[in-house]
Structures are given as C-alpha cells and as structure tokens.
Structure 1
Amino acid sequence: MPNNELHTALRGDLNDVLDDVLDGGEADAPDGGRAHDPDGDLDVEAFTAAIENFNRFYIRLPVLEKLPFTTLSVLDTLAFGGSPRRLTDLTKTEQVSQPGITQLVTRLERDGLVERRPDPSDGRAVLVHITEAGRAVGRSRRADRSRHLRPLVERLTPEQRQAITDALPALARLAELGRGQE
C-alpha cells in the first residue's frame, strides 16, 4: 500500500477509535460490551483495546526523521526517564542485551545524540547523557505528530475534544504510575 493510502487508512482508524472512545465516553469492549460498567468503573479491557488501537495509528504517523524504534526509545528514556543512565539500566528499560545496548549507544554517540561520561561514583562504569541534538529529535517527532493529529482532532465534536482534554490528567498520572514515579 503506498504511503498516502496507508496514511489515509490510518487516519480513518484514528477517527474510528476516537469516535468509539469518545461517543458518549464509551467504547466497544472486545467482547461487545461497553467501556464502563453500570457502577461507573472503567472497563480496563476496553480501555486497553482503545489505547492499543490508537497506538497502532500513532506510532505509524509519518515523521521527517526516520529512526529505528530502539533508537527513539533510548532517547525518550534519557529525555523523560532521567539522564544520565548507566548502560546496565538501559538494558533493563529498553529490554535489549548488553552488547546490543552498547552498540546502539556507540551509534548514538557517533551521531551526536548522546555522550558517555565516567560515573563519578564508580570509576568502572559510564553514564549515558542525552545531548541537545538528542532532545531535538524528540521535539521534532512530537511536532511532526502534532501536525498530523491537529486536523483529525479538529474533525471531532467539541464534546469529544473536551472529553480528551478532561482525560489528559488521568492519562498523565497513569503514565507516571507505569514508569514507577509514584
């Protein structure tokens, strides 16, 4: 499928997901149920399905800088999860082997996106720091994605846009909990 057709199909998927999620605040659950039960509790299965559907669209949005997922993940971890990090910490967060993370950090360092510096508390270890160029990659991707999402969000009803706005604090908190930043 050509890129423009894929983009159109993905845009349709986002609209379907957003329409399902935001139509009255409910989404169809995988079993045909609704996103919350009569007691007002969130149906976590339906929520998970909606997030997965959105993520499938979101991660495939066209961007100007084409970088491998693991590269982007390491830069994101360093930018938002705390920089500097030891290589051993990155192997855990990125779920990559020690040799794999070492090779990746070597490429990122060569490209000027990270720097390795000695760990002042342990002379045998190194700390990986994100550079301003590495941070710029993340800002660029966010700007690209916002540019693609803006016209889609504008197609939502005012109530749907408000529902997303109202959900942002809870989604941000959920992400913090998931990263262990209680």
Structure 2
Amino acid sequence: MSTELSGRDLAPVMERLVRLVREVSTAGEVSTTGAAVIARLGRLGGQRITDLARAEGVSQPAMTQLVNRLEGDGLVRRAADSADRRGVLVETTDRGREVIDARRTQRAEALEAALGRLDATDRAAIAAALPALDRLVDAVLDS
C-alpha cells in the first residue's frame, strides 16, 4: 500500500463524512445551507447578504429568501452596519446560536458513539490526523 495520499483517496471518505454530519444534524429543522449561514454568523459576526451568498455559493436573491425565512423563525436578525449606515448586516440571534449548539451536540454524540465502536488503534490514528485535517480545511477554505 502506497503512503502517498491523493485527493481521489480522500474525497470519497470526506463525502461520506459530510453525509454523516448532515444526517445526524437535525435540531431546529433548519436546512443545511441555513445552518451553515447561522454557524458562519456565529463564527464571524454580522455579514452582508452578498457576502453570505458568495460564501455559500448561492445567488443573492436565494440568500435573501433564506435570510427572510431564518429571520421569520427568529434565528437571525438584520442590523445597521456601523461602518456604513446604508448597509445592513445579518446577525445570529440567541435562538440561532442555540440551534447551532444543539446541532453540534447531535454530531458530537453520534461521533462519540461511533468512536466507541472502534479499537484504540483507530481512535489514536483519528486523533493524530485531526490537526492535519484542520489545516487541510483551512487550506481549502482560505484559498
């Protein structure tokens, strides 16, 4: 077995991992894109709709509709941009943060149960790989 790792080797495993995360993250009955938007707002603070649309790979009208739904559900709110009074930022609400926290808890519990079914060698290999995987994600998202 070669020690060289390729994107072709990694992609199917990552796709299955993404599927797992989506399947176990159901709290708040929020769409995957909606949850991603709320989580982004929680990490980065208020964002303009155009920036959210670009980050999520959707059109501005589609993001406006999503933000309207999230706002109607009390998960986000619009606020004046202090740097540009003409601009509007979308921010997460306390309820939005609660939904994201609940989804993270669901994922953590599902992964904890799965880790419990693995032997110590596999758990150690996963633990050793986490820093490199984190850097991989940064390399992709920051490019």
Shared fold (TM-score, shorter chain, > 0.5): yes
Q: How far apart in 2 are the matches of 1:144 and 1:75?
A: 16
Q: 42, 48, 51: which one pairs with 1:89?
A: 51
What's the % identity of the aligned pairs?
Answer: 37
* Higher-helix-fraction structure: 2
- Return structure 1 stretches of 4+ with deviation > 4 angstroms: none
Residues 7-156 of structure 1: matches in 2 within 5 Å? 37=2, 40-61=3-24, 63-80=26-43, 82-156=44-118
Structure 1, unmatched stretches of 5+, are 1-33
Specify the SS of the correspondent of 2:78: strand
Alpha-carbon offset, residue 93 of structure 1? 0.7
Q: How far apart in 1 are the matches of 2:125 and 2:10?
A: 14
Alpha-carbon offset, residue 79 of structure 1? 1.9
Number of aligned residue pairs: 143
User: Would you say the 8 A contact 2:25–2:104 is kept in 1?
Assistant: no
Query: Relative contact order: is structure 1 or structure 2 higher (C-alpha 8 Å, sep ≥ 6)?
Result: 2
Q: How far apart in 2 are the matches of 1:62 and 1:92?
A: 23
Q: How far apart in 2 are the matches of 1:64 and 1:128?
A: 21
Alpha-carbon offset, residue 61 of structure 1? 2.0
Q: Deviations over 1:85-126 (max 9, x none)?
A: 111101101122222211211222222211211112222211
